[in-house]
Structure 1
Amino acid sequence: MSNPLQQYLDLYRNHEQAITAGAPAAMNTLRPAAMKALAGAVLPRKGSEDYEATDLAAVLAPDYGVNVLRRTFDADVAQVFRCDVPNLSTHLYFCINDMYHPTRTALLHDQGGVVVETFRQAWQRHRQLLVDHYGRLASLARPEVALNTLLAQDGLLVYVPDGVTAERPIQLVNILQAAAPLLAVRRLLIVMGRDAHAQMLVCDHSQLPAEAASLALSVVEVVAQENATFDFYDMEETTAANSRISTICVEQHAGSNVLVDGITLTNGFTRNNYHVEVNGEHASTQLLGMTIASGSQHVDTHTFIAHNAPRCHSNEMFKYVLNGSAVGAFAGRILVQPGCPRVEAYQGNRNLCASSTARMYTKPQLEIYTDDVKCSHGTTIGQLNQEALFYMRSRGIGEEQAKTMLMQAFVADVVDAVRLESLRDRLRHLVEKRFSGSLASCGNCVSPCKITD
């Protein structure tokens, strides 16, 4: 197919009534613009701008099925998932493919002022939030965003009102499960009010046989009002048959503090897009990421942080550890607008290729259009330190254990930046298992999710 997007345009035309039925008007209103954007879009291919290592057209080309009729998953969700983070007490929600399910630990409506509900529920209870914010940050100029906007039938709203602190983290466990190739279209909107505080953990898992290679297409929009604090952890443990295209867009106002941390432990193909607009003075952004890839895994990250106000700060660090024939890519851009002095912006990309067949592509960028700023960017690609390996082996440490210890040390600062202590401890354990080879694929989704209350 010369244009992979044509199949999705045809799907929408043939099933428009089913796709729009029951969806909030805020979603349906944007579909014509999304359709127009897709009709004129040219998908980037490998080697094009910001897609040095990734062929997006090839990822979207397969004939995926789409659950336009919203058929429910005939299973007890508690028997499908196990996303085990010991001693982490959360308000827990599940998303099976692209349908949302609360659990016994989920928030009751407006409990403590915090709202977590589907878009369809929100249209009855918090309509103005969707009207004001849905689709405002995620640009339809990106084909993956336009496709998500065209086909999404529901989503999840997280709203923390002014002055409210969420007492427990909010956890969303996504599961991609199918017997045939499937496209799951997910949407998440997070609105943090003034002086609000919250933490959220999103865990991506999959149960897919090789013949059911599927794609999760997600868009997340985060609005952080004045002096809000929000931590967002996005952790992927999926299988080789899983493809994922994720776009996270953040808007920060004065004094807000946002941390976004993307962690890929196992996967098939992943493209992560991060877009941050810093629109107020004294706002602080931390954008972090860690990828551990082996075999034929492919992880591509693109970041953009725009400093649109003076006296704000951003710190960006992404680390990759690649083994086997894994492919990694990082393209990061920081923009400091005219008239925005006293900005501090730092970008780093550190990469470790633990095999001769692993490949890493990196492209850091800084664009500064004002004076009196502190900005830097840098990237490194290297291999394991042979002198350190020799020293450790001379002290009686086995070669594989020594390599594991060096790789753990390499990513330690990114792991330590996790502010949820129980998640940080769990992540250390998962990283150790991943480097030792005992966590080769997602094995967490076959028994009940065990979260300690």
Structure 2
Amino acid sequence: MSNALTQYIGLFEQNRETVCGNSAGKLNTLRDEALAQLRDAHLPDKNCEGFEKTSIDEMFSPDYGVNISRVNIPVDVAASFKCDVPSLSTLLGLVINDSFHPTSKLESKLPEGVFFGSLKRAASELPEIVNRYYGEIAPMGEASVALNTLLAQDGVLIYVPRGVKIQRPLQLVNIFSSPISLAAFRRLLIVLDEGAEMQLLVCDHTQDTANSYLGSQIAEVYVGAGARFEACSIEESSVNTSRYSRMFVRQERDSHFSFNSTTLTCGTTRNEFSIDLNGENAETHLAGMVIGSGNMHIDNDSAIRHLSPRCRSNQLFKYVLDDASTAAFEGGILVAPGAQFTEAYQSNRNILASTEARMHCKPQLEIYNDDVKCSHGATTGQLDNEALFYMRSRGIPEAEARTMLMQAFMVDVIDSVHISGLRERLLHLVDRRFSGTLGDCSGCRSTDCHE
């Protein structure tokens, strides 16, 4: 067992009553199973396949505080909506460190039957939903899932009943802010019943840069038959923030799932996407955009499993790395023996804007059926010198020309977003990121468009 796990297991065993007393329902009933799974487990390190560039054990090893007593930590919520976090017309909920906080009008604006709120509260008010799905999609046999299950005391449930189509996007803002270095065990459960439709924007934000933070994030997503779910995640954190985010998705027949992951600033980030297309004619679109600079490290890993006939998936990940930033992408496609007529495509394109930046990519196909259309490709290179020369010959300064080329490189990833107003906002954020002004809020007003 790793030292990282030892310290967290010890924390739980010494404070079991406090941990459970500040939680409820199935969140508590799964803790013994999680503890048993962790006894002989270890978090992945660089000796484990798929983690050669990112050690999860090293990420979790520092001595972070954990707010198991649920001490109220004051947070300037308005500060998270100056410049960097998109201000859209959304229905907004907040996770402050690891506790859910609704905005004042959230519940009154939700359609009847829709739940967007505290997972702890849902465990008491909607036990049939929480009991059926919580801990059932993410595999408890994996150490990081078991650890999150052991220590998560709250989280977020988004439930959309059968046939309900939410007209306005939901927005979930995760905020780190604390007087001490802190680890947060965040849990997200999303359930769309048959024929339901929803859009979601998730923003990760670190308000102060003095302390170190660790985010353990597990998301379980169920997309029922004929349901449609589109989501976008934007990370804008600090150089002292580490994040291990894992999303597990189960799709039924005729369902549609689309997810865009954008990393603008961070310290160390590992994102994993595990998607099962369980029903015939299900469709998945997965896109990612990374802008690395300084000593940032960003690692994206995808595994899409085609388990039923006539399903389609498309993956597109693009990276621009500058300075001494490092990154990785490992993408997998599995086509099961019974998944005939599968269409699955994967593309990874990368630009190294400095001689010190490093990129590792490893696309993988595992196909057990002949009647399929599948392809993958990966390229890593530098900015187009001919295009750069042409732009400079037209009087465009070199720094501006480089920025324009990097912006153009990301356009097709941004175009994959269909949430109203977000595509334009992403273009603005990317422009500011490449120009070096992201996070500079001087002269800005905080505009609150949320309810």
- TM-score (norm. length: structure 2): 0.96
1:99-148 CA-partner distances (Å, limit 9, x unpaired)? 11111341338633321121222123211000000011111232221111
Compute the displacement of 1:450 (Å).
2.1
- Partners of 1:295 and 1:74 lie apart in 2 by 30
* 1:414 counterpart residue number: 413
Compute the displacement of 1:73 (Å).
2.3
- Where in structure 2 are there 5+ consecutive unaligned residues? none
1:57 aligns with 2:57: yes
1:148 aligns with 2:137: no
Q: Which amino acid aligns with 1:123?
A: A
Matches within 5 A, 1:255-274: 255-274=254-273
1:203-257 CA-partner distances (Å, limit 9, x unpaired)? 00002334x2110111111100000000111110011011111001110000000
- Partners of 2:441 and 2:275 lie apart in 1 by 33
- Partners of 1:17 and 1:328 lie apart in 2 by 41
Q: 1:17 to 1:442 in 2, by over 3 A?
A: farther
* 2:366 counterpart residue number: 367
1:302 aligns with 2:301: yes
1:317 aligns with 2:316: yes
- Partners of 2:76 and 2:320 lie apart in 1 by 37
SS of the aligned residue for 1:304 comes to strand
- Partners of 1:81 and 1:88 lie apart in 2 by 10
* 2:194 counterpart residue number: 194
Of the three residues 434, 445, 451, the one matched with 2:449 is: 451
Q: 1:382 to 1:79 in 2, by over 3 A?
A: closer
Q: 1:84 to 1:299 in 2, by over 3 A?
A: closer
Q: Which amino acid aligns with 2:407?
A: Q
- Partners of 1:348 and 1:86 lie apart in 2 by 27
Conserved? CA contact 2:84–2:429, under 8 Å: no
* 2:427 counterpart residue number: 428
Compute the displacement of 1:324 (Å).
0.4
Identity of aligned residues (%): 47
SS of the aligned residue for 1:5 comes to helix
Q: 1:233 to 1:149 in 2, by over 3 A?
A: same
Say which is worse superposed, 111-120 or 364-373, in terms of deviation: 111-120
Compute the displacement of 1:448 (Å).
5.0
Q: 1:38 to 1:442 in 2, by over 3 A?
A: farther
SS of the aligned residue for 2:410 comes to helix
- Partners of 1:181 and 1:442 lie apart in 2 by 24
Compute the displacement of 1:22 (Å).
4.1
* 1:127 counterpart residue number: 127
- Partners of 2:429 and 2:216 lie apart in 1 by 25
Conserved? CA contact 2:300–2:330, under 8 Å: yes
SS of the aligned residue for 1:420 comes to coil
- Partners of 1:438 and 1:84 lie apart in 2 by 10
1:353-406 CA-partner distances (Å, limit 9, x unpaired)? 110000001111000001110000111111001111001111111111111111
> How large is the RMSD of aligned CA atoms in angstroms?
2.0
- Partners of 1:148 and 1:5 lie apart in 2 by 11
- Partners of 1:443 and 1:219 lie apart in 2 by 31
Q: 1:175 to 1:143 in 2, by over 3 A?
A: same
The count of residues paired between Structure 1 and Structure 2 equals 450
- TM-score (norm. length: structure 1): 0.95
* 2:339 counterpart residue number: 340
Conserved? CA contact 2:43–2:144, under 8 Å: no
Matches within 5 A, 1:17-416: 17-75=17-75, 77-78=77-78, 81-82=81-82, 88-108=88-108, 111-210=111-210, 212-416=211-415
- Where in structure 1 are there 5+ consecutive unaligned residues? none
Conserved? CA contact 2:45–2:54, under 8 Å: yes
- Partners of 1:407 and 1:437 lie apart in 2 by 13
